[in-house]
Amino acid sequence: MSEGAADDVSADAGQVARAIVLRRLTMAPRTRAELRRTLQQRQVPDEVAERVLDRFSEVGLVDDVQYAATFTESRRHRSGWSRRAITAKLNERGVPRDVIAEAVERMDPDDELHNARALAHTKWPRTEGLDDVVRRRRMAGLLARRGYSGSVVAKVLQELAAGDSGDDD
């Protein structure tokens, strides 16, 4: 293959890679690792993929630090996730460990208990009419799935059983 033909193939692969990345970013923000995996699945050469991802990073369309910060705030406030759950999901999405640590470091440990309480107080009334053991088991399961520690779950369950909001700490 001549040098000109190789450049044409690389340019075509670059156009394909840009189109793939733009399409994925149009649906939702993505991490660099997620986009890299998509490009690998679509058999875009690694050097072309890295070049395209570097360019998207330069212009600010791919930013793992911003992604992690936004994801952390969203999941913490809207969904009531714990630090542990957020860390696991960011890790799964390929965010570098130092970026994850920086994002979750901003979370106040007291917020975690507050968020668990808020989530529990939202869901607890929906279990009214069930046996108390079933209610407590369901609430413990919900909080555990959101990544809360056993001590946080126990404290929230104790407050629910006592009918206490726990806000006077």
Q: Which alpha helices (H) appear in 42-94, and where do they start and end?
A: 46-58, 64-77, 83-92
Regarding whether 94 and 115 lie in a shared domain, the answer is no
Instruction: Give me the domain span that covers residue 96.
Output: 64-105
Report residue 40 as tokens: 């690998």
Residue of higher predicted confidence among 77 and 139: 139
Report yes or no on 127 lying in a domain.
yes
Q: Which contacts of 46-55 are long-range, i.e. CB under 8 A and separated by 24 or more positions? A: 48/10, 48/13, 48/14, 48/17, 49/17, 51/14, 52/14, 52/17, 52/18, 52/21, 53/21
Q: What is the mean pLDDT of the chain?
A: 87
Regarding whether 51 and 68 lie in a shared domain, the answer is no
Report yes or no on 45 lying in a domain.
yes
Report yes or no on 40 lying in a domain.
yes
CATH of the domain at 100: 1.10.10
pLDDT tens track for 59-81: 999 999 999 999 998 888 887 88
Mean pLDDT, range 113-125, rounded to an integer: 89
Regarding whether 69 and 26 lie in a shared domain, the answer is no
> In this model, does residue 6 exceed pLDDT 90?
no
pLDDT the model gives residue 161: 84
Report yes or no on 169 lying in a domain.
no
**Of 82, 85, 72, which is closest to residue 29 (Cα–Cα)?**
72
Report yes or no on 97 lying in a domain.
yes
Regarding whether 54 and 21 lie in a shared domain, the answer is yes
pLDDT tens track for 76-103: 888 788 899 999 999 999 999 999 999 9
Regarding whether 152 and 121 lie in a shared domain, the answer is yes
Regarding whether 152 and 126 lie in a shared domain, the answer is yes
> In this model, does residue 165 exceed pLDDT 80?
no
